A and B are shown apart, each in its own frame.
Chain A
Amino acid sequence: MVVINSGNDVVWRRRTTKKQIGIWLGWLVGISIVLFAWSVISEKTVWFFVQDAPRQAADIGSRMIPPKWSYITKLLVPVWDTLNIATLGTIIAMTIAVPVAFCAARNTTPHNSVRAIALFIIVSSRSVNSLIWALMLVFILGPGVLAGTIAIGLRSIGFCAKLLYESIEEIDESQVEAVKATGASNIQQMTYGILPQVLPTIAGVGIYRWDINIRESTILGLVGAGGIGLQLNGSINTLAWTQVSTILLVILVTVFISEWVSAKVRGAII
């Protein structure tokens, strides 16, 4: 905040002139980057198709109504598969994520080199999308629910381990010291000093990720990894739009229920 005396007037300003110019320059650079990005994207766009989009949208929209309700009976098994992919995938992820998190946390890691490996596992699992994991696993395991489950598991390790190791680093050290003072070994310190402090986080993170995984597992079928995405892909490819709208509604309801369950359980734990 500066006050500038210009002649007889005293003018209040929030920033100094130098700072203000700096901010304007920042905006200039930012806007030029965005405009450049836009020009690149628009160069690769066929604008005729874009102009056609509202008509297309109206067309597809009219074909989607009314949803084909009788199709729901055929969706029960895919929904069950989707739930299994999400749940078992989360269980796989959590069993791997907990030890990885303990290796990645600064205060519990056995060695710095172990920590570096753990951090690399976390980043690579997070940066590769579950659909890409599924794409690779379908090559190895063949199409089916198993590939989807492992894909979800591999993808979730990074997310869970990251949140867990951050919470392990924030624990109250005095409790660990109190346990240590009783003559507890390293393992005992971990189970009685650290684990009780992070147990609510472990449960909370697991359920939060389960909720996300339900959403992610709805699309794994696109590459053949099981779940409701298989039906969605098939219906879109055969232009069965009434089935597509039914599937989308089923996904909507499933996601809403899982979100509600997750919020309730997390509310009860934390």
Chain B
Amino acid sequence: MSSLSDKQERHYPTVWDKPPFISNNLLRWGIILGAIIYLIAAIASMEINPQRLMEGIPRGQRFIASFFPPNFADNRGVVWDGILESIWMAIISTVAGIALSVPIGLGAARNLAPFWVYITCRFIIAGSRTFPEIILAIFAVKLFGFGPFAGFIALSLGTIGFFAKLLAEDIENSSESQAEAVKATGANWFQWINYAIQPQVMPRMIGLSVYRLDINFRESAVVGIVGGGGIGATLNTAFSRYEFDTAAAILLIIILIVMVLEYASSYLRKWVQ
């Protein structure tokens, strides 16, 4: 006993060290070593061409300089049209996407749906989540032709993966006892959903739908690059015509609208809760 306390005394640290984030020594050094090897391999395969980069610096300066001052005046009509088209596209695709998401979200909640419905709905969600809106838009443009309709289809399908997944998770986390209480009154399935589940998930869903409107507006700026209409088409035209000052104006307008939407959504969420 005394020898142990001697030992402890001798080794008692006088300086405190911060404990490491990963406590297992072997795992920590393994991860660090693996990360270094990966980083070297990854950067080596990037084929960074220093000469091209040096050439790029003055080009980049000229490029950035040509953005200033942003030109709101020329092309005013086209930009305005594009912005409006994007806004309408974002609204309609959010509404349509949510309308599609509600049945799929109900089906993807394990506590509501039988197993095969659950699996089917989860599969639809996973498919929609995997492919970015742009890939969906490429196919929509192939099928429906150029224009905002293709963008609308792509954004609506993209909304399903986001909204149905969060709805399903929210339903799975909702309180069992309220659902049981409504069921005990003899409510049928629709009444049960409407009076027991819906009030529990509604506040969060309203917040999420405004958030998704914000996302859809931002995404509508890129589906235009592949022909899906909206402000993205205008932006792409501005880039291809080297009208960078107009492009800068469009980007600033997008940032401004997103800021307003973000502010509105946080305000609405506070008001709903």
What is A's interface to B at a CB cutoff of 8 Å? 33-34, 36-38, 40-42, 44-46, 49-50, 53, 56-57, 60, 80-81, 83-84, 87-88, 123-124, 126-129, 131-132, 135-136, 139-142, 144-146, 149, 191-192, 196, 199, 203, 215-216, 218-219, 222-223, 232, 236, 248, 251-252, 255-256
B85 touches A40 (CB 8 A): yes
CA distance A60 to B138 in the complex (A): 13
Which residue in A41, A49, A139, A232 is a CB contact (below 8 Å) of B92? A41
Indicate whether B42 reaches chain A with its CB closer than 8 angstroms: yes
Q: A132-B221, A149-B46 are in contact. Are A218 and B259 (CB under 8 A)?
A: no
Further contacts, 5 of them, CB under 8 A, given A45-B145, A129-B219, A139-B239: A37-B91, A87-B42, A129-B218, A132-B222, A222-B134
A203 and B139 alpha carbons, distance in the complex (Å): 36
Are B144 and A53 within 8 A (Cβ)?
Answer: yes
| Contact status B45-A84, CB under 8 Å | yes
A128 touching B255 by the CB < 8 A rule?
A: yes
For residue A196, which residues in chain B have a CB less than 8 angstroms away from its CB?
18
Residues of A within 8 A of B142 (CB): 56, 60, 236
Interface membership of B23, Cβ < 8 A: no
Which of B3-11, B47-55, B106-114, B183-191 lines the interface with chain A?
B47-55
* Cβ-based interface call for B226 (8 A): yes
Cβ contact within 8 Å between A255 and B45: no
- Enumerate chain B residues within 8 angstroms of A256, measured Cβ to Cβ: 126, 130
Please indicate which of the listed interface residues A50, A145, A219 has the most CB atoms of chain B within 10 Å of its own CB: A219
Do residues B135 and A123 form an inter-chain contact, with CB atoms below 8 A? Answer: no
A142's partner among B52, B88, B148, B229 (CB-CB below 8 A) is: B52
Q: Which residues of A contact B95 (CB under 8 A)?
A: 34
Instruction: Decide if B88 touches A41 in the complex (CB within 8 Å).
Output: yes
The 6 closest A-B CB pairs, nearest first, are A49-B145, A127-B258, A37-B88, A140-B60, A45-B149, A84-B42
Within 8 Å by CB of A223, from B18, B225, B259, lies B225
Bin the interface of chain B by size: 35 or more
- Assess the B259–A44 pair: CB atoms within 8 A: no
From B92, B226, B251, residue with most partner A Cβ within 10 Å: B92
User: What 0/1 pattern do residues 13 to 38 of B give for CB contact below 8 A with A?
Assistant: 00000100100000000000000001
Q: Check A41 against B89 for contact (C-beta < 8 Å).
A: yes
Q: Could you pull out 5 A-B pairs where Cβ atoms are within 8 angstroms? A: A56-B142, A84-B42, A127-B255, A146-B48, A236-B138
A131 / chain B contacts, CB cutoff of 8 Å: 134, 222, 225
**B203 interfacial contact with A, CB 8 Å:** no
> Contact at B45–A142, with CB atoms within 8 Å?
no
Smallest CB-CB separation from A57: which chain B residue? Answer: B143
Smallest CB–CB gap between B97 and chain A, Å?
12
Judged by a CB distance under 8 angstroms, whether B43 is at the interface is yes
Are A53 and B143 CB-contacts (below 8 A) given A40-B88, A131-B222?
yes
Query: Quick one: which of B52, B132, B149, B229 has the most chain A CB within 10 A?
Result: B132
In the assembled complex, which residues on chain A have CB atoms less than 8 Å from the CB atom of B126?
256
Point out the residues of chain A lying under 8 angstroms from B53, CB to CB.
Answer: 141
The answer to whether B18 and A192 have CB atoms under 8 Å apart is yes
For A45, list chain B residues within 8 Å (CB): 144-145, 147-149
What is the minimal beta-carbon distance from B85 to any residue of chain A, in angstroms? 7
Interface residue B115 (Cβ < 8 Å from any Cβ of A): no
List the B side residues contacting A128 at CB < 8 Å.
251, 254-255
Partner of B229, one of A44, A57, A60, A215: A44
Closest partner residue, chain B, to A141 (CB atom): B56
A132 touches B88 (CB 8 A): no
Q: How far is the CA of A40 from the CA of B49 in the complex (A)?
A: 48
Contacts A34-B91, A41-B148, A256-B130 hold; do A123 and B255 have CB atoms under 8 A apart?
yes
Residues of B near A87 (CB, < 8 A) are 38, 42
A49 to B149, CA, bound (A): 10
Of the candidates A42, A132, A218, which one forms a contact with B251 in the assembled complex, judged by CB atoms under 8 Å apart?
A: A132
**Selected contact of B46 from candidates A37, A84, A203, CB within 8 Å:** A84
In the complex the two chains form, is A139's CB within 8 Å of B63's CB?
yes
> How close is B132's CB to chain A, nearest CB, in angstroms?
5
Q: Within residues 35 to 81 of chain B, which ones have a CB less than 8 A from any CB in chain A?
A: 38-39, 42-43, 45-49, 52-53, 56, 59-60, 63
Instruction: Name the distance in Å between A37's Cβ and chain B's nearest Cβ.
Output: 4
CB <8 Å contact, A135 and B239: yes
B92 touches A37 (CB 8 A): yes
Q: Please, how many angstroms separate the alpha-carbon atoms of A154 and B170 in the complex?
A: 32
Residues of A within 8 A of B219 (CB): 129
Give the one of A49, A56, A127, A223 with max B CB within 10 A: A127
A223 to B255, CA, bound (A): 22
Q: Give the chain B neighbours of A149 by CB distance below 8 A.
A: 46
Asked if A56 contacts B63 (CB within 8 A), the reply is no
